[in-house]
Chains A and B, each alone.
Chain A
């Protein structure tokens, strides 16, 4: 849960992965990137190395792998969000032809383990020789439930008459913090805005669902898992099964999206391993879409009752908020307001997590930030309305002072220019007709950083081939390509001369891909391992050239004497000197090559049809930094991707639970609305390179401020304030209705 003090620590990314790492003193000698002018690959637009395999359909994801003799597993999830399992009868399931194993997961004999807290929670499982047979059998498992009244909404959970669905109570203890005298500051305020703000529950909707294959060979377990963290997955599954970690191996060559939901050890693999043991054959379990929505995590809802004050000159004075939200049947619904881009000298905050009978939250791309950003940026636009001041001007007066990772003062004017902020009209488009145009903006911040435990091994073979081994994984961000680029750059080789071997716990440790720390963990480590390997190669080459090793450099496919390029030899000839023994050099994460802290701003240009309530986003402008850019092409894709996911959060996505039964009514891709290509506006991105800052991750920042910018633009267009997400036709029409009835603007 987020702490409520200032300055706020962003909430943890979850899944056991720290979101930011304190960068400790260096483990070895100081390291650096090549001077900008000398960079051959770094900072350029390099096509991702696995693009051809993906585009050709050759890439094998866990979902695609079929092992010899493999069975298909199906998990029976509880249809009831709150219940107790009284009895389970597997007989009919076991009798289905082709069924090889069936196991109980919720043991009715043990009341402590027989409780169901959310729809889809695992009750029992089967494995059979075809998916169809497994599903037939799963449906024949007979379960007797004691069905209990569920908590579907925060209102229900917080009601004094609510059943106590959770042993610790339905609501967490209040977490409070304060700075300065809020009451006094509000008394001096020229304007005060008071409102209630809300954001919805968003599901990750990774296209490849959770799951994988478990395969035993004696007491050794090999798993092919759709995961963002092979090591956390391996460790957690081994613990759950009670086997030594070295006996378990996780392989993730390709994975089809996670966005934070695949950072931990997934129960699907634990169950697959148990079924595989029972059946004596490998078992694959991949969730269906319904269960993917139900149980694999979500972005918690957020609610905030806010009172904020500003003086007549537009200086923020005070922020007073009471917040709550639900991450379902578990903690983690915290977020920090006011969003720490702006300075509110006096603050008072209180927060409660509310527990409901729904699938527990998991880290979701910038946990807590889009919610906090939306709430804060909306309040700021409301304050600007009261002041009759340009909301951009109000932001410029209250944004944090400039620092390398606090560049908003510089970026806001750039974005304003690109979106055409000077044509912005005051709140409410006064032109005739039902189509109203509006502009809005918002800012983001993220930490990123690197995990100092990261290790890599660089191998140089006598035939000249180079392989970097590291147990990171490429979740679509381009990590594989970044690793190869850095190794190739360091060794002066073309990209196709090096291989990145990733996605296997047999390789040296790397953290899970969460918190935007992958590139900051991997890049320095790969650089160091490549330099270490190269140094060893230099020691073999130096005697041949009659110089000392430190006189050598690797450049343009040659090992040569610095300053005397003619004196040297081709890479391949140098490697022949190794005889039959390859170089294997370890590398540790080292300070100086990466950094912490990104900042960015976004602007939205929207059209709202006030006769239908439908919003169409015409354009998004984004100005964003991420330290030193490694691969410009894939970094830009992160920007587009984050903005598009933010657009989904702004307009469409909403996990809807039936309020009476707490069952999800839209656990599919028909009514859980993800943007399609016709929903995508013009997206104008400016990626600010900071080559001297070192590498910083970019996965999360772009998703943060899109919804806030869009909602503010909708308010600017319509003249009525949008205080909740998603901005549906219903929300817009209701706001317009309220305005006609004498609203607040």
Chain B
């Protein structure tokens, strides 16, 4: 780790004042689960860290019946929160599967949403990859078994956040605060593909902070997250999916289907959503929607298997959200 200065910001205002406009120079630190590893590997070499753990760490009901979740809420507290579990089971399920107990105890919602990719070329300083300002993506003709099956590059990372997937599926907004004031960004617009932001993964400017995740009232929506990992203990998902269904009896009025670990951003499966809309839920329909979800997936040299796994996560998340009994457990 390079030496750095430290600012213990007492609140949002102080934190923003302590950040700067230059990318990578002054970085916010919350749980540090991602950032410290990046710094130890010299991928991040900030001159200053700004503690943002004193930002809002409350989970509060909003006036319209949703929840407003402070970025400093830990993943463990999110997973254990009764309202979250009741209103947004897909979010609680995703939170419970993040990392390990120690990571969930220290890691925050803001940190999880804004963590950097786990791509092993990006995280190794010996590979001067596109994302680090280099000239090529080493995954293209290299070891891409965990890389993207959607998005078509030029950088082939998969987005690492498990919470980002339900955030998009549940129609969350992120409150962003900066020197120029605050704004709310729909989760579906918060994450940017590499062609729009190669050196980051979101709309966040270096002197801005994501301070809250704001979830709309769930209404009658039923949601579920299904994740496939290689190891059952600590591991990253090979693919994950969150499905939110607006049901009327057994009929799906509308659906949001989002896949994770398959693209540089949480990947909205509009084809699957169309396949589900207006239909009565059956296992066959879930399968058809899952097929539609992976339409357009494009395997790299070593990751074709991820298409099948992504398909399965969608199918099972649909069935779980709809309350259909699965035959896989």
Residues of chain A at the chain B interface (Cβ within 8 Å): 79, 132, 136, 139, 432-435, 609, 611-614, 616, 651-652, 656-661, 663, 665-666, 670-671, 673, 675-679, 728-730, 733-734
Residue with the highest number of chain B CB atoms closer than 10 Å, among A79, A433, A665: A665
A433 touches B309 (CB 8 A): no
Measured CA separation A613–B313 after assembly (Å): 12
**B residues less than 8 Å from A658 (CB atoms):** 121, 127, 138, 142-143
Residue interface mask B1-12, A partner, CB < 8 A = 1: 111000000000
Tell whether B135 is near chain A: CB-to-CB under 8 Å. no
Q: Which residue of A is nearest B118, CB measured?
A: A670
Is residue B197 contacting chain A, with contact meaning CB distance below 8 A? no
Contact B230 A665 (CB under 8 A): no
- Whole-angstrom distance from the CB of B191 to the nearest CB of chain A? 22
Interface residue ranges of B161-184 to A (CB < 8 Å):
none
- The answer to whether B328 touches A613, judged by C-beta atoms less than 8 angstroms apart, is no
Asked if residues B327 and A663 are in contact (CB atoms below 8 Å), the reply is no
- Indicate if the CB atoms of B327 and A729 lie closer than 8 Å: no
Known: A79-B126, A729-B238, A729-B309. A614 touches B230 (CB 8 A): yes
Q: Which residues of B contact A (CB under 8 A)?
A: 1-3, 42, 118, 120-121, 124, 126-127, 138, 141-143, 145-146, 228-236, 238, 302-303, 305, 308-309, 312, 315, 327-329
Chain A to chain B: the 10 pairs with minimum beta-carbon distance, closest first: A676-B233, A433-B327, A678-B233, A665-B120, A678-B232, A730-B305, A611-B312, A733-B305, A79-B126, A612-B228
Q: Given contacts A435-B328, A658-B143, A675-B233, is CB(A663)–CB(B309) below 8 Å? A: no
Judging by beta carbons under 8 Å apart, are B138 and A616 in contact?
A: no
CA distance in complex: A6, B125 (Å): 48
Q: How far is the CB of B132 from chain A (nearest CB, A)?
A: 15
Q: Are B1 and A665 in contact (CB under 8 A)?
A: no
- Which residues from chain A contact B126 at a C-beta distance below 8 Å? 79, 661, 663
Known: A611-B328, A658-B138, A663-B126. A673 touches B235 (CB 8 A): yes
CB A76 to nearest CB in B, in angstroms, measures 13
Most A C-beta atoms less than 10 A away, residue of B230, B233, B234, B327? B230
Partner of B121, one of A79, A609, A665: A665
Looking at B126, B141, B302, the one whose CB has the most chain A CB atoms below 10 A away is B126
The total of Cβ contacts below 8 Å across the A-B interface reads 94
- Name which residue of chain A comes closest to B290, CB basis: A611
B329 proximity list for chain A (CB < 8 A): 435
User: Please, how many angstroms separate the alpha-carbon atoms of A679 and B231 in the complex?
Assistant: 7
Q: Which residues of B contact A728 (CB under 8 A)?
A: 230
Query: For B238, what are the chain A residues with a Cβ–Cβ distance below 8 Å?
Result: 612, 729
* Residues of chain B within 8 A of A665, CB atoms compared: 120-121, 124, 142-143
Alpha-carbon distance A249/B66, docked complex (angstroms): 68
A732: nearest chain-B partner, CB-CB:
B305
Could you say which of A613, A616, A660, A676 contacts B309, with CB atoms under 8 Å apart?
A613
Interface centre among B1, B2, B232, B305 (most CB of A within 10 A): B305
The residue in chain A whose Cβ has the minimal distance to the Cβ of B1 is: A132
Partner of A652, one of B118, B124, B231, B302: B231
Cα distance, A670 to B143, chains bound together (Å): 16
Nearest CB on A from B118, distance (A): 7
| Closest B residue to A432 using CB positions | B327
Shortest distance between the CB of A698 and any CB in chain B (Å): 26
With contacts A433-B328, A729-B305, A730-B305 known, is A676 near B231, CB below 8 A?
yes
Cα distance A659–B138 in the bound complex, in angstroms: 10
Tell me, in angstroms, the Cα distance from A673 to B233 when the chains sit together. Answer: 10
Closest to B140 in A: A660
- Given A611-B328, A660-B138, A730-B145, list of 17 further CB < 8 A pairs? A136-B2, A433-B328, A612-B228, A612-B238, A612-B312, A613-B308, A616-B232, A652-B230, A656-B143, A660-B141, A670-B118, A675-B231, A678-B232, A679-B231, A679-B233, A729-B228, A729-B230
Of all chain A residues, which has the CB nearest B308?
A: A733
B230 CB, min distance to chain A CBs, angstroms: 6
The residue that B328 contacts in the complex, of A132, A434, A679, with Cβ under 8 A, is: A434
Q: Give 23 CB contacts A-B under 8 Å.
A: A434-B328, A435-B327, A611-B312, A612-B308, A612-B312, A652-B231, A657-B143, A658-B143, A659-B143, A660-B138, A660-B141, A661-B138, A663-B124, A665-B121, A665-B143, A673-B230, A673-B231, A676-B232, A677-B233, A679-B232, A679-B233, A728-B230, A729-B309
* Residues of B with C-beta under 8 A to A139: 42
Once the chains are docked, how many angstroms separate the CA of A660 from the CA of B142?
A: 7
Q: Is the CB of B308 within 8 A of A611?
A: yes
Complex CA distance for A132 and B39, rounded to whole angstroms: 13
Would B309 and A671 count as touching, CB distance under 8 A? no
